[in-house]
Amino acid sequence: MSNLTNKKIPSGLDPWNALRVHTDARIGLGRVGDGLPTERLLEFQMAHARARDSVHMAFEADSVRAQLDGLDHPILDVHSAAPDRPTYLQRPDLGRLLDDESAATLGQHAGDYDVAFILADGLSARATHDHAANTLSLILDQLGESWSVAPVTLATQSRVGLGDEIGAALGAKLTVMLIGERPGLSSADSLGCYLTWGPKRGRSNADRNCVSNIRPAGLTPEKAAKKIAYLMTESRKMGLSGVALKDNSSNPDLIEG
C-alpha cells in the first residue's frame, strides 16, 4: 500500500477514495461544502431502506416450506406470543414465548429426539427467506445417519429464546435455530445460528453457542454448515453447550475438507 501515493486517481473522485480497498467503512466519500455528495447520500438511504425492509418484511413460512421440499421430516408452523411486528419489536419477552395454539401443535409431535431445527424470522425475515433452507440442508448433509431429527419448525415473530420452548415441547436434547440477525446497514440478509443443549425456558445466552454473519458475502452457508455440524457433534458428545463448548472447527485436524 505504500505506493498508493503514486497511484493515478480517477478524476472527479475524492483522491483518497483509493483507500477504500482497505475497509468496507464509508471513507473517501468526498464532500459538497460540509455535506455529502448526492450519490453518496442516496447510497446510504438505499442501504438503510433495505435493512428496514428486512426488519419489517412479513415472514413467508410457506415459501420457506417450499424450499424444503424433499426434506424427510415433517414441517410445523409455530408463532410466538407477539401477535404483530410492532409488539414484537417492543416486547422481546413475548417473542420468547409460544402462543397457545403452537404449544398444542408441538405437544402432538412430542417425542425423544437428538435435535430440533428451527427456522425463525428474528429481526430479518429476508435472511431466513434467502439462506435458512439452504443452510439447513447443508447441515443435514454433514450430519450423517446417527441423528434422530424432530419435526422442523418455522417460527414467526420469534426471538432466540423461543427455541427453548420449542425444543422442550418437542422433547429434543439439542436445538439448532437459524434466525435472521439484526440487519447492519450493509448486511440486511445476515443469518445467525444458535445451538442450545437441554433447551428449556430460562436459558441464557451463556448457555448457547452462536455462529453469526451467515450470508454469501460473510460466512458462506457452506462454511457455516461445517461449523454448525462440528458444534452439534461436540455438544452431543459433551452433553452441553455455551461457554464450555469451544469452537475449534477452524482447526484443520478436527474438520475434514
Residues contributing to the site for another protein (CB under 8 A): 1-5, 14-16, 19-20, 22-29, 31, 33-36, 40, 44-45, 47-48, 51-52, 54-55, 89-93, 123, 182-188
Smaller CB separation from another protein, 151 or 180: 180
Give the cell for residue 198: 437441554
Least distance (Å) from another protein to the CB of residue 186? Answer: 7
Least distance (Å) between residue 219 CB and another protein: 12
Report, in Å, the least distance between residue 97 CB and another protein: 14
Helix 162-170 vs helix 100-108: crossing angle, to nearest 10: 30
* Cell (9 digits) for 107: 405437544
By the 10 Å C-beta count (0-12 exposed, 13-18 middle, 19+ buried), 117 is classed as buried
- Axis crossing angle, helix 133-143 with helix 221-238, rounded to the nearest 10: 50
* Residue among 18 and 71 whose Cβ is closer to another protein: 18
In whole angstroms, how close is the CB of 227 to another protein at the nearest point? 17
Compute the Cα dihedral for 52, 55, 57, 62 and give only its sign: positive
Query: Nearer to another protein by C-beta: 17 or 233?
Result: 17
Write the burial class of residue 188 (CB in 10 Å: 0-12 exposed, 13-18 middle, 19+ buried): buried
Min. distance of Cβ 13 from another protein in angstroms? 11
d(C-alpha 200, C-alpha 182), whole Å? 24
Closest to another protein by CB, 24 vs 72, is 24
Nearer to another protein, 22 or 201 (CB): 22
